[in-house]
Amino acid sequence: MYTGGQAPIFIMKEGTTSTRGRSAQSKNIAAAKAVADSVRSTLGPKGMDKMLVDSMGDVVITNDGATILKEMDIVEPAAKMIIEVAKTQEQHCHDGTTSAVVIAGELLKRSEDLIEQNVHPTVICEGFRLAAEKATGLLEEHGFSTDSNETLAEVAKTALTGKSAGAVKEFLADICVRAVNSVGQEEDGERLIDLADIKVEKKQGGSIRDSTLIDGIILDKERVHTGMPRYLNDANIALVNSAIEVKKTEVDAKIHITNPNQLASFLEEEENYLRGLVEKIQAAGANAVICQKGIDDLAQHYLSKAGIFAIRRAKKSDMEALSKATGGSVVTNLDDLSEEDLGHAARIEERKIGDSNMTFITGCPEAKSVSVLLRGGTEHVVDEIRRAFDDGVGVVSVAWEDGTVLTGGGSVFAALSRELRAYAEGIGGREQMAIEAFASALEVIPRTLAENAGLDPVDTIIELRKAHAEGKSHTGINVYDGGVSDMKSANVLEPLRVVEQAIQSATETAVMILRIDDVISSKGMSSGGMGDMDMGMGGMGGMPPM
Ligand code: ADP
Ligand code: MG
């Protein structure tokens, strides 16, 4: 790039700093490891929770890796890359975030040792890539197909174990499986789930066991008029996305009224118009109307007189969900409303949940969208239940779509570790060292599970390796009784995709970080942006002291 051995000339803004070579590498590795270490203690059923307090004093208590990393205000660039691992994991698999981050941290830690032994980072990267590719292939061999709801429920239970929702995992797992079964679509053998079709409403108060799945929709709304029926059976629902009001003109118009008769007839005109709208709803055969916009007071009165159940200002997303659940179509102009547009439900009912009224639209035939109401004693409990539920329903959907699961509890990682060591022997050279390092790094999962369960990590790993050497390939960490045991008979199961993605994204990120040998950061590139250019704080330049 540079000729004649001349020193390169950088023309950069004053204050730009550059950290290079080994120093850049070790700084990046240290930052990434620090992030991984921060979530390590939460891994597994016996993992601890973290209490996160933001600058506003708001508190989140969670065991969820993705949430912890999301809430942490991190500026260090390499650390941010590790957080990306968690995000990717969360997006694709809904679970395994802590595992992915912990693996990435361990891969980097192992590379540090290799770099010490003068193995070049590019060789390490190549070895890691080979190992990850091999591991992906091996995973397929360890997977077994799942078809039953029982297996799906076990997958959900594994994801929920150790969360604060763990005590009711059976109960929540059942909701997850039923929800996924209702909204899953199958086309040409291709299975697909849009999790947006599982609408979650949380309401604080009551107990977790008061949570329910509804073959329909729950709206956090009450009927507009108390004169309306509180419930109806065989609901025929009009879905309207325009206001049931007198149309307002775009321009300011004034009407001059010169005598009282004119006023009366003007008002009568308005009344007739509104009555007309309500009659159109009635004529279509609807006994309920959900309106995305407002409903005029007078129209409310007519609707209530007609015995029609009405809700106003429903959310747009709720209208879409309603349409999917009830089979009705959303109508803009009431003139166009006909019987075919109506959605159907066995029952529409207003119920008092906690201290507010909610509307339950249930018994929708062929509902392609369902709702889950999550309850819990306090706000923190409901929030954590929500996160647990998202994990549970996420893994069940992944398992349902892919149809392949693996045994958990670190069993698959122990098996891969063993197989990769054998594979490394055939590679030779320094890459072999990298593949061996990769193999050892994967053991971080069973080791951490053991540590977090209060077991002796060394003894447990030795026991684990022994079992695998004897061909007991489903052996993992028994976090409850200590030692190791068969994870298949313990029904600790997770989707293959979760493990595969965790290994892949951890490897990619480790490789990316390892390949960096120059960090050029401009001053003031902290989260504050351009505003704090002149603050001159040594640590603000994107590379704060560790
Ligand atoms: P992540 O964010 O990676 O999902 P978790 O805290 O949910 O982290 O822990 C997941 C790990 O816990 C997985 O390796 C899983 O196999 C393991 N695990 C879950 N249930 C059990 C169990 N009953 N016994 C042993 N390991 C378990
Ligand atoms: Mg998990």
Q: Is the pLDDT of residue 50 over 90?
A: no
pLDDT > 70: percent of the chain: 91
Contacts of 394 (CB under 8 A, 6+ apart): 93, 94, 95, 159, 195
3-state secondary structure 359-370: EEEECCCCCCCE
The pick from 38, 88, 161 for probing ligand 1's pocket by mutation, whose C-beta has the most ligand atoms within 8 angstroms, reads: 161
CA 159 to ligand 2 centroid distance, Å: 5
Q: pLDDT tens digits, residue range 227-257?
A: 999 999 999 999 999 999 887 767 777 778 7
**Per-residue pLDDT band at 527 (split at 50, 70, 90):** very low
Residue whose CA is at the smallest distance from ligand 1 atom 4: 96
Which residue reads 């159940």 in tokens? 309
102 neighbors 430 (Cβ within 8 angstroms): no
Q: Which residues contact 246 (CB under 8 A, 6 or more apart)?
A: 270, 273, 274, 296
Burial pattern 14-25, b for ≥16 Cβ within 10 A else e, equals: eeeeebeeeebb
Atom 26 of ligand 1 has which residue's CA nearest to it? 409
Q: pLDDT for 422-447, tens place per residue?
A: 999 998 888 999 999 999 999 999 99
Distance 468 CA to ligand 1 centre (A): 19
- Measured from the alpha carbon of residue 480, the closest ligand is 1
Judge contact between 346 and 385, C-beta under 8 A: no
Cβ atoms of 64 and 43 closer than 8 Å:
no
Residues with CB under 6 A from ligand 1: 42-45, 47, 65, 95-99, 158, 161-162, 408-410, 445, 449, 476-477, 479, 492, 494
Average pLDDT over the chain, rounded to whole?
86
Atom 18 of ligand 1, residue of closest alpha carbon = 409
Atom of ligand 1 nearest to the CA of 409: 26
For 145, 259, 262, 513, the CA distances from 265, given in Å and listed in that order, are: 73, 10, 5, 77
| DSSP bridge partners of 520 | 18
Task: Tell me how far the alpha carbon of residue 371 lies from the centroid of ligand 1, in angstroms.
Answer: 27
Report pLDDT for 214.
Answer: 87
Residue 4 pLDDT class (50, 70, 90 cuts): low
Nearest ligand to the CA of 442 is 1
**Closest-CA residue to 390 (of 372, 409, 408):** 372
Higher pLDDT, 107 or 169: 107
Q: Nearest ligand to the C-alpha of residue 392? A: 2
Which residue's alpha carbon is nearest to atom 20 within ligand 1? 158
CA–centroid distance, 96 to ligand 1, in Å, is 8
Ligand sitting nearest the alpha carbon of 161: 1
Residues belonging to the active site: 64, 97-98, 391
Question: Tokens for 79?
Answer: 């650390």
Q: CB within 8 A of 241, min separation 6: which ones?
A: 291, 292, 293, 316, 319, 330, 331, 332
Which pLDDT score, from 0 to 100, does residue 501 have?
Answer: 95
Ligand 1, atom 14: nearest CA belongs to which residue? 409
CA of 209 to the centre of ligand 1 (A): 23
Q: Give phi and psi for 276, each to the nearest 5.
A: -60, -45
Least confident of 2-11, 390-399, 502-511: 2-11
CA of 180 to the centre of ligand 2 (A): 18
Phi-psi region at 488: left, alpha or beta (left = phi > 0; alpha = psi -120 to 50)? alpha
Q: What share of the chain is helix, strand, coil (3-state, %, to 5)?
A: 50, 20, 30
Ligand 1 atom closest to the CA of 502, numbered from 1: 3
Q: Which ligand 1 atom is the nearest neighbour of the CA of 413?
A: 14
Question: Ligand 1 pocket: which of 106, 449, 500 to mutate (most atoms <8 Å of CB)?
Answer: 449
Give the tens place of pLDDT for each residue, 397-427: 999 999 999 999 999 999 999 999 999 999 8
Query: What is residue 397's predicted lDDT score, i.e. its pLDDT?
Result: 94
pLDDT of residue 541: 37
- 220 CA to centre of ligand 2 in angstroms: 29
Provide the 10 A C-beta neighbour count for residue 293: 13
Q: Are 209 and 374 in contact (CB under 8 A)?
A: no
Burial 218-238 (b: 16+ CB within 10 A, else e): bbbbbbbbeebbeebeebbbb
Q: What pLDDT sits at residue 531?
A: 34
Residue 160: what pLDDT? 87
Question: Mean pLDDT across the stretch 376-391?
Answer: 87
> Of 124-128, 248-252, 443-447, 478-482, which gets the smallest average pLDDT?
248-252
Q: Among 41, 43, 413, name the best residue to mutate to test ligand 1's pocket (greatest count of ligand atoms within 8 A of Cβ).
A: 43
CA trace torsion 159, 164, 165, 167 (10° rounding): 100
What is the SS3 assignment for 458? helix
pLDDT above 60 (res 99): yes
* Closest residue by CA, ligand 1 atom 23: 492
Q: How far is the CA of 86 from the centre of ligand 2 (A)?
A: 12
Choose the residue to mutate in 64, 70, 154, 158 for probing ligand 1, maximizing ligand atoms within 8 Å of C-beta.
158
- Atom 1, ligand 1: residue with shortest CA distance: 96
Which domains, from first to last, does the chain contain? Answer: 17-145+407-532 (1.10.560.10), 147-214+374-402 (3.30.260.10), 217-366 (3.50.7.10)
Q: Is the pLDDT of residue 455 over 90?
A: yes
Q: Which two tokens stand for residue 494?
A: 């997770």
The ligand 1 atom at the shortest distance from the C-alpha of residue 95 is: 4
Q: Given pLDDT bands bounded at 50, 70 and 90, which one contains residue 525?
A: low
For 100, the enclosing helix (H) or strand (E) is: helix 97-116
- If one counts every other C-beta atom within 10 angstroms of the C-beta of residue 285, the result is 13
182 phi/psi in degrees, rounded to 5: -75, -35
| Cα 304 from Cα 286, distance rounded (Å) | 13
Atom of ligand 1 nearest to the CA of 64: 2
- Range in 24-33, 94-103, 422-431, 441-450 the model is least confident about: 24-33
Phi, psi at residue 222, to the nearest 5°?
-115, 165
pLDDT at 263 > cutoff 80: yes
Q: How far apart are CA 165 and CA 64, in angstroms?
A: 12
Our CA dihedral for 41, 163, 441, 465, rounded to 10 degrees, sits at: 110
Question: pLDDT-derived band of residue 51, with 50, 70 and 90 as boundaries?
Answer: confident
The pLDDT of residue 146 is: 83
For ligand 2, the distance from its centroid to the CA atom of residue 388, given in whole angstroms, is 8
Coil/strand/helix, residue 168: helix
Give the N- to C-terminal CA distance of the chain in Å, as an integer: 33
Q: Is residue 187's pLDDT more than 70?
A: yes
pLDDT of residue 77: 79
The ligand with the least distance to the CA atom of 452 is: 1
| Positive/negative CA dihedral, 396, 401, 402, 404 | positive
Which protein residue's CA is at the shortest distance from atom 12 of ligand 1?
Answer: 44
Please list the residues that pair with 52 across neighbouring strands: 60
pLDDT at 10: 64
Q: Which residue out of 390, 478, 492, 494 has the highest number of ligand 1 atoms within 8 Å of its CB and is therefore the one to mutate?
A: 492
